[in-house]
Structure 1
Amino acid sequence: MSRRRRRAAGTIATLALIASCTSCTIATDSPAENPCAPESSPGGVSLPRGDLQGWKQIFSDDFDDCDLGSDWGTYSGQPGGNPNSTWDASMVQVDDGLLNLNSQRTDSGWITGGVSNYPVTQQYGRWEIRMRADNSDDISYHMLLWPQNEKWPPEIDFAESVSGTRDEMSAFLHWVDDKGTNDKKGVSTGGDFSEWHTVGVEWGPGIVRYLLDGKVWAEAHSETMVPDVPMWLGLQAEAGACERREDWGMTPCSDFSEQRPDNAAVQVDWVTVYAADFDALEKMQKSGYYDPSPDAIQFTD
């Protein structure tokens, strides 16, 4: 399946609110300490606390504060290769324990929300997000890792969808092949992604594993396809999904569809990021833990 690039006009340097992260702390506010925190997790699953085997938790955010905070930056401008959408900081809202990436149809076109976790940049790691998306033929979502040096590719897209009924989610890899040509590969899985799910990715030397509710559903084992440069997390809502479906030869959108509201949201309950414990991961690899999974879709170049 072919796919057009998504990148902010100019560079991601247009992001607002980006700040250097001298100490990426893990929030521990309780509702009694924080008046903006909800009584329970909106996504039905609490934010994970603590390390995992092979992974050290270095950052988390359950969006229980009264604003976005300095560990995030808002997108602005037009996504590269997508004239149908404009990112605007007003479309990013933190409310009642949720990060809302809103979308609104205006007289001049769609405006949508997107954020960067640029201060938490690393080479290799594990990222998990608790999220859902309103049904919309027009709005797609994209959860991805982007290179710190702004030289594309690579790109790791671990959760995205142009499905108006949110019954399908895709994952992509972008890389430069041995001949110096930009290449890409994508796979998809089914589910109801208008409901809450935990999506994520594990990335290490020569391996990317895509996660859905804690299980590996797709993976790539390749020195060529898998990036080795520091990357950061981006969470994006974009308009133009109908145009993408047409470009990709998928079932076109209908003017009479019930999935064409003027407003839609992609909601995130929490984000957590882990750094690699390479000694532990090496032992896990030698034990066969990271051998290709028979239940996962295998990326091939």
Structure 2
Amino acid sequence: MTVRRRATVLAAAGLMLAAAGLTGTAQAVDRQLPQASETTCSAGAAQRPAGMRLAWSDEFGGDSLDRRSWSTVMDFPGRAGGHYHNTSYGSYAVDENVVLSGGRLRLVTDNKPVVGTDPAGTYQYTEGFISSHDKFFQAYGYWEICAKFPAGKGLWPAFWLIPQDRSWPPEIDVAEWFGSIESMHSGLASGTWPDVRWDSHRPAGLTPTTGWHRYGVLWSPGRITFTVDGAPTSTITGAQVPDKPMYVVLNSGTWANPDRGGPPDATTPFPNSFDVDYIRVYRTK
């Protein structure tokens, strides 16, 4: 999730920076989710990048989250607690918002206020959050999800990578959707806090809310290339490209600040979900 905004907020709070969290998994939400479309981008054989082998994957075919692969508690610098990123977010991560159904992961965002304990407080919205911290991490390789993003003002789902060693930066935002401005962000945070460098890109012409697409990053020494459906959208080169092992975060959520189109309003559909058909990570043979 774009940490540039996190960093600004957390600096004022005297923290380091922020990220995401929750704990557990559940099978249902109280209100009916929109039906997930049946056609995804996973039909047929997996597309193996040349010269690479599959290192880790989850096809989300079970009825509960695979705890050998995933954690549901935030554990990175600057988080406000195990279930709440920071004040850039309006959402608190709860177990019942991580739903596996029909071979899909559905990370739900809802507008049912909740009284949280980690950290304590009352939160207007809830989100789903999972990470592979301490479960799977590596440096370099090709990382890809097949996903469909929710449409609506104030929604903020994302696929991102952060360091296993709990440092920040770096952060690689592979696919971060800002619903209020209907803009997909991909980019890299590098440097040292608070002197953070941002290499950010917002590819045009994407349709993340109306169809299933493959969002990926090909990461090698000194080079990062972002892709959508296998086609490059932007490339970052230079010494700022990280070389340390990183892990995956997938989360839904809501924006809380007045910029970037502002938070949800009466037009935002709830509940909604960030739907993921699979995640696959490859490494050089």
- TM-score if structure 1 supplies the norm length? 0.72
| Corresponding residue number in structure 1 for 2:98 | 92
- Give every structure 1 segment of 4 or more consecutive aligned residues whose post-TM-superposition deviation is greater than 4 Å: 9-17, 250-256
| Corresponding residue number in structure 1 for 2:60 | 63
Correspondence 1:156-195 to 2 at 5 A: 156-164=172-180, 166=182, 168-176=183-191, 181-190=195-204, 191-194=206-209, 195=211
The alpha carbon displacement at 1:233 in A equals: 0.9
Q: State the secondary structure of the residue aligned to 1:139.
A: coil
Q: Deviations over 1:186-233 (max 9, x none)?
A: 11012111121100101111001101000111110111x201111011
- Sort the Cα spacing of 1:73 and 1:252 in 2 relative to 1 into closer, same or farther, 3 A: closer
| Corresponding residue number in structure 2 for 1:4 | 5
In structure 2, the gaps of 5 or more residues are: 11-15, 25-36, 74-81, 114-122
1:114 to 117, 129, 133: 129
Aligned pairs, number: 245
Is the CA contact 1:124–1:204 (under 8 Å) kept in the aligned structure 2? Answer: yes
Correspondence 1:1-301 to 2 at 5 A: 3-5=4-6, 16=23, 42-46=39-43, 48-49=45-46, 51-70=48-67, 71-75=69-73, 76-107=82-113, 108-118=123-133, 119-164=135-180, 166=182, 168-176=183-191, 181-190=195-204, 191-194=206-209, 195-223=211-239, 225-240=240-255, 243=257, 246-247=258-259, 250-251=260-261, 255=265, 258=267, 260-277=268-285
| Corresponding residue number in structure 1 for 2:30 | none
In structure 1, the gaps of 5 or more residues are: 18-39, 278-301
RMSD of the TM alignment (CA)? 3.1
Is the CA contact 2:107–2:273 (under 8 Å) kept in the aligned structure 1? Answer: yes
Is the CA contact 1:4–1:81 (under 8 Å) kept in the aligned structure 2? Answer: no
Is the CA contact 1:84–1:240 (under 8 Å) kept in the aligned structure 2? Answer: yes
Is the CA contact 1:92–1:100 (under 8 Å) kept in the aligned structure 2? Answer: yes
> Distance between the aligned counterparts of 2:3 and 2:93, measured in 1?
23
